[in-house]
Structure 1
Amino acid sequence: MAFYFLLYWHFLLMVMLIIIFAGSITFLFPRFPSIVVLVISGLIGLVYSILIDFTNARYFFISINVIVTSIPIILIRYLLFLKRKAEEMEVE
């Protein structure tokens, strides 16, 4: 099964597009709920498993998409937190 993922480039393309999507949504709309972005990425993983006709690994695709989506969300939330703290320290 691991060799299967190395052969198809569209899996990596999907993961890269999900990272860009999650990062841009989180950065442009900071008050947008992160759980919605995570659910959308999980649904994309489900649709991907149906499209390539490999529904036995749907939980794997969903979990990979959710984990990969959480990385830019956490990083951008931390960046916004640091920015807010720097502004507070600048005022003091």
Structure 2
Amino acid sequence: MGFYFLLYWHLLIMIMLLMLFSGVITLLYPQFSSTIVLIVSGLIGFVYSILIEIKDSSFLFISINLIVTVIPILLMRYLLFLKRKAEEMERGFEGVSKE
């Protein structure tokens, strides 16, 4: 397994770029559908398996890409949720202090 990562180092670069792009897209465009980002990520995994000529393990690459893409999407959604709750609490405290 270690030899695989040394031989196919571009897999790690693809994973890092997918995490970066999915996090940035979710943060900058929160209304953008996460399903589309996941579909594109799965297609990238399939194309990757074709490019390195290992079509038998395409399911592995697709699942790795989907899992890696879901993590930053969930983190950014949680960040936006916490931001919204903090703003609601701030508005609540302003109403209490004025009375």
Q: Same fold (TM over 0.5)?
A: yes
- Alpha-carbon distance in 2 for matches of 1:54, 1:4: 16
CA contact (8 A) 1:5 1:11 kept: no
CA root-mean-square deviation: 0.9
Give the aligned length. Answer: 91
1:5 aligns with 2:22: no
Task: For structure 1, list consecutive stretches of 5 or more residues without a partner in the other structure.
Answer: none
- Alpha-carbon distance in 2 for matches of 1:5, 1:15: 15
Over 6 Å off, 4+ runs: none
TM superposition score normalised by structure 2: 0.89
Identity across the alignment (%)? 60
Question: Which residue identity does 2:5 align to in structure 1?
Answer: L
Matches within 5 A, 1:15-54: 15-54=15-54
Correspondence for 1:70: 70
User: Which structure has the bigger radius of gyration?
Assistant: 2
CA contact (8 A) 1:46 1:58 kept: yes
